[in-house]
Structure 1
């Protein structure tokens, strides 16, 4: 018999939805990642789906406006993030209900939820200190990430399923926005635009079948020739990075 995993501390897992998302859209992915954390010996004190901009029952126009506004915020203005503040408020309210203290907080956002996750991580770091919360942006638009968070952020985007085009991005939402910024030119000359100046340290493409809404599909026709589903591929990419961050 194999030995039980050694307890590794408490984890709070939050998945953040994007624009006009169905209430159960990421539930299977959350449950799968929760199970992996438990199997690896972590105590999962919280495991929850959050909707920083509302779900599909809310008017899509204000959701679009709020996500667009948050995308344009500089890292210094994270305290003004609409989605980020809602996420932090939900996290803190849950802690009060459970009497929970300490532990690492993991934030995984799909689409606009990735923007809210980055800005919520900045707010949590400002308020609580300690190590930054690991953040995974899945199919998210790009936004400027604070320097102190960059090493703790992974950007996951869909690529074409066929090997011949595996490096070609197929999720147009992940191309929106920018990680760029101006940097001082050599020898004091004019500033130079750097596309990745405020980008995450980690990024990877996932060869899923489909596009932006399909990262978490579990069944045919969203399985490849080896029988691996989109969700399995996305989960492997996320856990492969996350396991080294917590």
Structure 2
């Protein structure tokens, strides 16, 4: 375990038609746990790159679809792109470890931002996608990306949003023949969470979103992220 403690800047990115404050309690709990481990959280903000639920959902859905399908072109068309990018860039330039956590379509935006930062010569941020559509992650920094999805009793993904998109791509092997691989550009870590509920419920804390062991959806979501961060920040 490293003795060099990082200074972390946490940014949550909401998806389609999200209420203001939807990820605030989750972000505060994650910050609290990082603080308890001796890490300084230099910045903490909730961002709404597609707008909140007061903006027409049809416009937001179109922007998310464009970001998802045009991801290789580094196109980020969301309405709040400028403000979100500026806050994240400031933390990056200050030398902080940037942690981007996107729920739903916000997870697509998080990968887009990471691409832009790396293209500009900055260190790749840590990215967590929660209940997000699948989008290609470059192999060279996939180990800095965690993907969380809700699963049912059979272990299969039960969050309908995670069925959209793809990780597949063409890969050239030793024979120099291009082959299609279903998970060629998947995140480095993919974890299924046996939560109660569905797509909006990853951050629930109260019954009925508490399992027989007394662990809420929030407990399990934060716990999975902290376990993944253990090998990267501490």
Q: TM-score, normalised by structure 1?
A: 0.86
**Contact 1:143–1:177, Cα closer than 8 Å, also in 2:** yes
- Judged with a 3 Å threshold, the aligned counterparts in structure 2 of structure 1 residues 148 and 202 are, in CA distance, closer, same or farther, namely same
2:76 aligned to which of 78, 81, 91: 81
**Contact 1:7–1:43, Cα closer than 8 Å, also in 2:** no
Structure 2 residue matching 1:208: 3-state secondary structure: coil
1:144 positional shift: 1.2
Q: TM-score, normalised by structure 2?
A: 0.91
Task: Name the larger-Rg structure.
Answer: 1
User: Does residue 60 in structure 1 map to residue 30 in structure 2?
Assistant: no
After TM superposition, the structure 1 stretch with the greater mean CA deviation from structure 2, 83-92 or 63-72, is 83-92
Match of 1:152 in 2: 144
**Alpha-carbon displacement from aligned partner over 1:159-207 (angstroms, at most 9, x marks no partner):** 12x4xx2x12110101110011122367455x32211111111100000
User: Does residue 180 in structure 1 map to residue 180 in structure 2?
Assistant: no
Match of 1:209 in 2: 196
**Alpha-carbon displacement from aligned partner over 1:103-161 (angstroms, at most 9, x marks no partner):** 1100000000000001111111222423x11100000001111233211101100012x
2:36 aligned to which of 39, 42, 45: 39
Match of 1:3 in 2: none
1:9 positional shift: 3.2
Structure 1 residue matching 2:106: 3-state secondary structure: helix
Match of 1:101 in 2: 94
- Judged with a 3 Å threshold, the aligned counterparts in structure 2 of structure 1 residues 128 and 188 are, in CA distance, closer, same or farther, namely closer
Moved over 6 A (4+): none
Count of aligned pairs: 229
**Alpha-carbon displacement from aligned partner over 1:37-87 (angstroms, at most 9, x marks no partner):** 111111111001001111101110110000000111243x22x22249443
- Judged with a 3 Å threshold, the aligned counterparts in structure 2 of structure 1 residues 19 and 173 are, in CA distance, closer, same or farther, namely same
After TM superposition, the structure 1 stretch with the greater mean CA deviation from structure 2, 19-28 or 100-109, is 100-109
1:244 aligned to which of 213, 231, 234: 231
**Contact 2:71–2:112, Cα closer than 8 Å, also in 1:** no
- Judged with a 3 Å threshold, the aligned counterparts in structure 2 of structure 1 residues 188 and 101 are, in CA distance, closer, same or farther, namely closer
Cα distance in 2 for partners of 1:45, 1:144 equals: 30
User: Does residue 115 in structure 1 map to residue 108 in structure 2?
Assistant: yes
In structure 2, list runs of 5 or more residues that go unmatched: none
In structure 1, list runs of 5 or more residues that go unmatched: 1-5
- Judged with a 3 Å threshold, the aligned counterparts in structure 2 of structure 1 residues 188 and 200 are, in CA distance, closer, same or farther, namely same
1:244 positional shift: 1.4
1:223 aligned to which of 210, 213, 230: 210
RMSD (CA atoms): 2.1
